[in-house]
Structure 1
Amino acid sequence: MELFDTSLSILQEIKLDPQQFRNVRLLVKRDDLIHPEVSGNKWRKLKYNLELAMYQKKDGILTFGGAYSNHLLAVAAACQLAGLQSIGVVRGEELTADSNENLKRCAALGMELLFVSRESYDERNEKSCQEGWKEAHPHFLLVPEGGSNYYGIVGCQEIGKELPAETDHLFVAQGTTTTSCGLLLGSDEKTKLHVVPALKGFDAIAEMRKQLYPVLLDEETMNEYMDRVVVHPEAHFGGYGKWTPELLDFMEMCRKEYGLPLDKIYTGKAFHALMEWLKAQDFQTLQTVVFLHTGGLQNG
Structure 2
Amino acid sequence: MKSSNQKIPIHFPNEIELFIKREDLLHPIISGNKFRKLKYNLAEAKRLGYKKLLTFGGAFSNHIIAVAGAGKEFGFETIGIIRGEELIDKIGENPSLQFAHEHGMQFHFTDRTSYRDKTSPQFLLKLQEMFGSFYFIPEGGTNDLAVKGCEEILTIEDKMEFSHICCAIGTAGTISGIINSSIENNQIIGFSSLKGDFLSDVIRNFVQKKNWNVNCEYHFGGYGKVSDELISFLNFFYMKTKIPLDPVYTGKMMFGIFDLIESGYFPPNSKILAIHTGGLQGVAGMNDMLQKKNKETIQYND
TM bucket by the smaller chain?
A: 0.7 to 0.9
Give the residue type in structure 1 aligned to 2:274.
F
Contact (CA 8 Å) 2:171, 2:199: kept in 1 or not?
Answer: no
| 1:168-247 equivalence runs, <5 A | 168-209=163-204, 211-212=205-206, 222=208, 225=209, 227-247=210-230
Equivalence for 2:292: none
Q: Alpha-carbon deviation of 1:43?
A: 0.9
* Cα shift at 1:99: 4.4
Mapped to 2, the partners of 1:116 and 1:232 lie a distance apart of 32
Q: Deviations over 1:245-266 (max 9, x none)?
A: 2211111111011112112111
Equivalent position amino acid for 1:235 in 2? Y
Q: Structure 1 CA distance, aligned partners of 2:123 and 2:139?
A: 14
| Residue matched to 1:41 | 33
Structure 1 residue 108 corresponds to structure 2 residue 102: yes
Q: 1:50 aligns with which of 32, 42, 55?
A: 42
Deviates further, 130-139 or 118-127: 130-139
2-side partners of 1:75 and 1:163: how far apart?
A: 30
Which amino acid is the alignment partner of residue 105 of structure 1?
Answer: F
TM-superposed deviation, 1:134: 3.5
- Secondary structure of the equivalent of 2:119? coil
Secondary structure of the structure 1 residue equivalent to 2:108? strand
Distance of 2:238 and 2:169 partners within structure 1: 21
CA distance in 1, matches of 2:50, 2:256: 42
Task: Give 2:281's aligned residue.
Answer: 298
Structure 2, unmatched stretches of 5+, are: 284-302
1:56-80 Cα offsets, whole Å, 9 max, x none, are: 1110211111121111110000111
Residue 90, structure 1, aligned to residue 82, structure 2: yes
Deviations 1:206-233 (A, max 9, x none): 1211x31xxx5xxxxx3xx1x2112221
Helix, strand or coil at the partner of 2:197:
coil
Which amino acid in 2 is paired with 1:172? Answer: C
Aligned length in residues: 279
Deviation at 1:138, TM superposition (A): 4.3
Does the Cα contact within 8 Å between 1:134 and 1:142 map onto a contact in 2? no
Contact 1:22 1:282 in 2 (8 A): no
The answer to whether the aligner puts 1:10 opposite 2:20 as a matched pair is: no
CA distance in 2, matches of 1:55, 1:244: 45
- In structure 1, how many angstroms separate the alpha carbons of the residues matched to 2:114 and 2:61? 17
The answer to whether 1:283 aligns with 2:267 is yes
What residue is the counterpart of 1:166 in the other structure? 161
Distance in 2 (alpha carbons) for counterparts of 1:190 and 1:75: 35
What letter corresponds to residue 133 of structure 1 in structure 2? L
Match of 2:299 in 1: none
With over 3 angstroms needed to count, the CA separation of the structure-2 counterparts of 1:91 and 1:15, relative to structure 1, is same
The Cα of 1:125 is off from its aligned counterpart by 0.6
- Are 2:143 and 1:149 aligned? yes
Aligned equivalents of 2:181 and 2:166: distance in 1? Answer: 14
**Which deviates the most, 267-276 or 240-249?**
240-249
How far the C-alpha of 1:90 sits from its partner, in A, is 1.0
Q: What are the ranges of 5 or more consecutive residues in structure 1 without an aligned counterpart?
A: 217-221
1:298 and 1:60 mapped to 2: Cα distance? 23
Q: Is the 8 A contact 1:76 1:106 kept in 2?
A: yes
Q: Give the Cα–Cα distance (whole angstroms) in 2 for the partners of residues 151 and 68 of structure 1.
A: 24
Q: Work out whether residues 168 and 192 of structure 1, in 8 Å CA contact, stay in contact via their aligned partners in 2.
A: yes
- For the aligned residue pairs, the C-alpha RMSD in angstroms reads 1.7
**Following TM superposition, where does structure 1 have runs of at least 4 consecutive aligned residues deviating by more than 6 angstroms?**
none
